[in-house]
């Protein structure tokens, strides 16, 4: 029984609340360090617009259904999840932090870096915004620049450039509220394009310089890496849904018919459509069926995809890394499933492009369905949750898992109390040690 509990406690769960789908994935690392997918739950999302929760009730229902499906597939009871956040409210800024140390003889420690990062959280932001991530770029120790890891060095003046990602407090609170309404606990909130990068990019690509473009249903997220560090993040408020809307208006069909046309017959490059088949769509209430040529459909799709790529190119130029992307562009998300989209991206941007599949870290024998770009964010959230060593599917206080005898329960309670007092003592000690530094 205890082995079974240990296995279940090793399981981490990711929850991707997107514009078109809500996806819950349960998984764990195996003995070879690869990711085993235990259960997947995916349902249509109707309460989210452009990456932001617009209807609490519908979103709660979708989360509940996705989590229940993941529980059935994995055989574990889910209590804690790692959630992603996205939307056009996401902004990024650069800031420089300085820490003057009182002793140049002692080595720079993780505590000094944590203090610098914590200082960034005190930045004055526009009303209604909060900091989601603080990402160190490079450090300077006593005017020695370009240091990536200053721990162990000696110096008095420690400086760092930070890439700070902010988002609306209300958007973050709405996500937390939806998750809590289902009876779950949020372990960590991660920006979705950062999560996707964990799943589809290799370390070599991040080192060489790469732009990850995640084309979702409501937004397109851009993340630029250089020398293994996130240098730029941006969100474009256009995604797969605007392509569907264009097809609906251009071909005068229903929304669900436009979506099927896009998925089954759509191509992002009209030049690649050679046979130009005629697609027949049933008419409404006995009316004549509509006929649409495959070439015209591709032209509608291509025009909108080119517009999205224009935004991507503009963001890459704005970042200053236009000529430093040796790894080119990696497309992921549901929009990357469009036929020939990587060819169009290469023609339009002049940069080599590939489709990013989230199979980089998966164990052998993974389910075929999860190797789609659609699951890149969810698998990335899972990997980040495992890496951060966050809480797993079970709360430590959960009593339903193992039935103990009264004697064993008392022994466990004594041990937990011991740990609690030890932690209190350690925290108090750290607080008193840290107090003299507050004047700096």
pLDDT tens-digit map of 377-406:
999 999 998 887 755 554 444 434 333 434
User: Which one is predicted more confidently, 361 or 344?
Assistant: 344
C-alpha–C-alpha distance, residues 332 and 373, integer Å: 5
Q: How many Cα atoms within 13 Å fall on the side-chain side of residue 390?
A: 23
- The b-or-e profile of 361-373 (16+ CB within 10 A means b, else e) is bbbeebeeebbbb
Q: Where are the beta strands (DSSP E) in 263-383?
A: 278-281, 290-293, 329-332, 353-355
C-alpha–C-alpha distance, residues 234 and 334, integer Å: 18
C-alpha–C-alpha distance, residues 188 and 182, integer Å: 16
Alpha carbon of residue 385 to chain centroid = 11
Q: What is the pLDDT of residue 299?
A: 93
Average pLDDT over residues 410-426: 52
Break the chain into its structural domains and give their ranges.
Answer: 91-167, 202-359, 406-435
pLDDT for residue 373 is more than 50? yes
Q: What is the pLDDT of residue 366?
A: 65
pLDDT for residue 8 is more than 80? no
On average, the pLDDT of the chain sits at: 83
pLDDT for residue 408 is more than 90? no
Per-residue pLDDT of 299-356, as tens digits, reads 999 999 999 999 999 999 998 888 889 999 999 999 999 999 999 999 999 999 999 9
Residues 6+ apart with CB under 8 A from 136: 113, 116, 117, 160, 161, 162, 229
Per-residue pLDDT of 221-240, as tens digits, reads 999 999 989 999 998 889 99
Phi/psi for 32 (5° steps) reads: -95, 5
Enter the pTM of the model: 0.82
User: Which one is the CATH code of 91-167: 3.40.640.10, 1.10.3720.10, 3.30.1490.110, 3.90.1150.10?
Assistant: 3.30.1490.110
427 — pLDDT class (breaks 50, 70, 90): low
Fold of the CATH domain 202-359: Nucleotidyltransferase; domain 5 (3.30.420)
Contact indicator for 304, 344 with CB cutoff of 8 Å: no
How far is the first Cα of the chain from the last one, in angstroms, to the nearest whole number?
Answer: 52
Per-residue pLDDT of 91-124, as tens digits, reads 888 899 998 888 777 888 888 899 999 999 888 8
Residues 6+ apart with CB under 8 A from 323: none
Average pLDDT over residues 196-217: 92
pLDDT for residue 208 is more than 50? yes
Paired tokens of 183? 């009876």
């Amino acid at each position: 029984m205890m082995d079974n509990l240990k296995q279940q406690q090793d399981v981490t769960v990711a929850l991707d609340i997107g514009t078109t789908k809500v996806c819950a994935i349960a998984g764990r690392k195996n003995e070879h360090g690869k990711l085993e997918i235990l259960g997947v739950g995916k349902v249509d999302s109707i309460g989210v617009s452009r990456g932001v929760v617009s209807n609490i009730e519908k979103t709660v229902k979708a989360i509940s259904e996705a989590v229940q499906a993941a529980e059935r597939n994995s055989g574990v009871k889910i209590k804690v999840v790692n959630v992603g956040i996205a939307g056009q409210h996401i902004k990024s800024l650069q800031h420089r932090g300085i820490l003057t140390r009182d002793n140049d003889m002692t080595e720079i420690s993780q505590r000094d870096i944590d203090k610098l990062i914590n200082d960034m959280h005190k930045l004055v932001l526009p009303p209604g915004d909060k900091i989601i991530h603080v990402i160190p770029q490079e450090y300077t120790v006593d005017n020695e620049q370009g240091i990536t890891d200053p721990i162990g060095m000696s110096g008095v003046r420690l400086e760092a450039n930070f890439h700070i990602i902010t988002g609306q407090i209300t958007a973050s609170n709405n996500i937390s509220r939806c998750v809590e309404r289902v009876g779950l606990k949020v372990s960590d909130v991660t920006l979705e394009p950062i999560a996707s990068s964990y799943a589809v990019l290799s370390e070599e690509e991040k080192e060489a310089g790469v732009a990850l473009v995640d084309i979702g249903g409501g937004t397109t997220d851009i993340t630029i890496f250089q020398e293994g560090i996130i240098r730029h993040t941006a969100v474009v408020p256009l995604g797969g849904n605007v392509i569907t809307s264009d097809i609906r208006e251009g071909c005068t069909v229903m929304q669900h018919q436009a979506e099927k046309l896009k998925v089954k017959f759509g191509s992002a490059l009209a030049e690649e459509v050679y046979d130009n088949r005629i697609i027949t769509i049933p008419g409404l209430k006995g009316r004549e069926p509509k006929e649409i040529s495959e070439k015209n459909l591709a032209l509608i799709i291509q025009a909108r995809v080119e517009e999205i790529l224009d935004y991507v190119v503009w963001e890459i130029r704005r970042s200053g890394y236009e000529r430093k992307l040796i790894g080119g562009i990696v497309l992921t998300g549901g929009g990357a499933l469009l036929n020939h989209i990587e060819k169009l991206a290469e023609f339009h941007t002049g940069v080599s492009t590939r489709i990013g599949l989230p199979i980089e870290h998966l164990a052998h024998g993974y389910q075929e369905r999860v190797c789609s770009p659609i699951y890149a964010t969810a698998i990335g959230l899972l990997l980040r949750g495992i890496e951060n060593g966050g809480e797993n599917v079970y709360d430590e206080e959960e009593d339903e898992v193992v039935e103990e005898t009264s004697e064993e329960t008392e022994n466990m309670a004594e041990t937990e109390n011991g740990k609690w007092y030890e932690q209190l003592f350690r925290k108090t000690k750290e607080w008193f040690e840290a107090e003299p530094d507050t004047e700096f």
